Structure formats: structure tokens, C-alpha cells
A and B are shown apart, each in its own frame.
Chain A
Amino acid sequence: MAKVEEIKEQLKVILIDDLNLDDITPEEIGDNDPLFGDGLGLDSLDAVEMAVIVQKHFGVEIKDMEEGRPALQSVQALANFIVDKQEKA
């Protein structure tokens, strides 16, 4: 559980840095805010970039749509996905 919390905080900082979200702070990103559309407003290119980010920083691969769609719903969902994958590795 503590690991999920830690990864969520890391994710927020990494997303802001790597996706160039200059007008937002980590504190303003809610754990369950939708990442795409009305939430953070990320787009399809960001989705690809997030797959790269997750692999680069956490060693976890988002292989395809089946894995990516539920994992990329929110920071919470992504952190759960990362921890789950790391534990299974």
C-alpha cells in the first residue's frame, strides 16, 4: 500500500516533467482524476509517451490496448498497475 502511495507521488512529478505540463503542480493532480479528456486533458500522443515513461522509470511495459486502457485511467490506476506488474515480475 505504501508502495502505491510512493509511486503515485513519483508519477505526478514525472508526468509533469516529461509531458511538459507546465501549468499544473503535483498537488493539483487528484489520484482519481481522469488522465485524458476532461481530466488532465492529455491526448493520444501523451498516451504513447506515458507507456515510454512507465517503462523508463518503473521497468514496467504497457504492451497493448488491453493493458493500457485500464491502466491509463488515472494516477491511482496506473500506480496499481505498476505495483501489480512489479510484484509479478
Chain B
Amino acid sequence: MAAGEQKLGNALGYQLFYLFIKVGGRRCAYALLNWVCAFYVLFRPQVRCSCEPYLTHRFGAAVGFTKLWQQYRLILSFGRVMVDRAIVATLGAEQIKVSLVGREQLLQVRDQGRGMILLLSHVGCWQLAMSAMGALNEPLYMLMHGHASSFESKNYQTEVDSSCPYRTIDPQGYLGGSLEMLGVLKSGGILSIMGDRVPRQEKNTAPVSLLDGEVALPISPYHLASATGAPIVVLTSRKTGDSTYEMVVADVIEVPVGLGRKADKFIPYVQRYAAILDDYCQKNPYQFYNFFNMWQ
């Protein structure tokens, strides 16, 4: 979780959701969620603050009820994703259907045998949508932190133990896991990285434009691609219905080999990714889940 994000809820609250899911299913849990989200938006200023940077950049400055309504919709949308994950953990993966748009393109890249970097973002629900990556029929290595939220932690462990097709590389490990990632790509493997958040103390970023502002995004995926010759497949996920998600192959970015170490060499490729994020936010305004000020 990025700096500035707040941990919400407590163990009792999470158990209540699990109980509602077991007793009444999705609709029952969603009904509870409506009230919980309304409570958080009305009575927890830090929740409203965490929504503010994104909503302001996406919709412009809003006031009064409009602003509250935007905050509520964003939190509710995020809450539904969390509930869906809990449903999968509690009732099984068959409760959610995930479709993959761009399957042929993805398989073509895999068949080139150059390794592959799957570049994901905190949009939709990448955890659930990753099940669509079963189409690759190969193990995935994912760079990811342990989750800060106990709700996510409980869910994530359950998903990993049951159905998730990925293995993790810890960015807090030796040299940020860079040598492990290099090893995966050199052996023609598939590596998954989040492209929209900068790990703590990471200095290797590039300034790019997103939603009419400037953000710093990490260059490490593009540098790895340049070092190994692996193509970058940009994936976005979105919730399309109560029990349906879609994973989309949004772009395949080829970074030239041997660009070297300087961050500015990678700006065009990072900007290309940022443009995809921008377009995603225009089309799915309440499915972008970075609850901190990316534009600082």
C-alpha cells in the first residue's frame, strides 16, 4: 500500500462481511456494504481525503453533495471489489467469471519465447482478473509486497492457496528482487509488475502526464524490458457486472534493447502506459484505486 493510504475496518468488521456472504450471498454483502461505505464517507474525513486527489484530477473540483456522491461511488466500487474477493475466498472461484480480451495477441507474445512483462495497475481487480492468465499455461512471477490490510491479507492467502496461478517476488528482498526478476525474464518466464505505484524509497522514476497533471511512475519495468529484450504487455482489468470481470490486453510495448541507465530514455514508454491509464480512467471513472496523491 502506498504512503498515505489508511487501513480501514477491523477484524470484527471483516468477519461480519464473511458472515453476510455465507448467509445471504453477494446481494446481502453488497447491501451491508452500501451502509458501511456511506458511514465511512460521511464520518471518516481521512477516507474523503484519500479520494480527493484522484477525483479532483478526474472530474475537476466539485463541492457539496456532488463531491460526496463521487467519493461514495469510488469507495463503494472499491468495496465491491473487496467483497468479490471475499466471495471467491469463501464460496469459490466459480462465483466470478473473468473474460480475457486480446487472448490471441497475448499468446502470440508468449510464443515468441522472449519472456514477457505483464504490466498491471491498481484498477478493477487485478487479483481476480489474473485468473484469466491461466490462458498462458505458464507460471507467473509477480512482484508484490505483503498486503498491509488484514482483509486483503486473509483474502490473498486464500486465493493463493486455492486458485491463483502466480508466485511472488518480494520487492523488499535483496536488491528489490531485481536479480530474481532478471532471472525469470532471462529464462523466458513471465513476470508481472504493477506500473502505477512507486515503491518506498524508489528513486528511479520518470515524470509523465496523467489526467492533466504530472505523476512520477517507476521505470524499472521498462528498464528490465530493455535489459532482457522482453516485451511489455499492458493489462487492465475492470468489473463489468455483479459477478463478471474483464481483463484486457491494452497494448504491447517493445522497449529497445540497451537503452542504458538514464531515466529520461524511458519517458516515451512510461508515457505510453500513462496514456492507457488516462483512457481507462475516462471510460471507468470509479475503478481507479490509488488512494493517495500521485500528483504530489
Residues in A lying within 8 Å of B, measured CB to CB: 18-20, 36, 43-49, 51-52, 56, 61-66, 68-69, 72
Contact = CB atoms under 8 A, between A and B. Distances in A.
Name which of A18, A43, A45 has the most chain B CB atoms within 10 A of its CB: A45
**CB-CB nearest 9 A-B residue pairs:** A64-B183, A44-B176, A44-B178, A68-B179, A65-B179, A47-B175, A44-B175, A47-B178, A45-B204
Contacts of B80: none
Interface stretch (B208-216, B245-253, B256-264): B256-264
Name which of B176, B182, B187, B258 has the most chain A CB atoms within 10 A of its CB: B182
A45 B262 contact: no
Contacts of B270: none
B276 interface: no
Interface of B: 174-183, 186-187, 203-204, 219-220, 223-224, 227, 258, 260-262
Contact of B260 (A18, A36, A68): A18
24 contacts: A18-B260, A19-B261, A20-B262, A44-B177, A45-B178, A45-B223, A46-B261, A47-B175, A47-B178, A47-B179, A48-B179, A48-B227, A51-B179, A51-B182, A56-B258, A62-B182, A63-B183, A64-B180, A64-B182, A64-B187, A65-B183, A66-B183, A69-B174, A72-B179
Contact of B227 (A19, A49, A68, A72): A49
B197 to A, nearest CB: 16
A33 B179 CA distance: 20
Nearest to B177: A44
Nearest to B199: A44
A64 B178 contact: no
B261 A18 contact: yes
A36 B220 CA distance: 17
Nearest to B174: A69
A73 to B, nearest CB: 11
A23 to B, nearest CB: 15
Nearest to B184: A64
Contacts of A18: 260-261
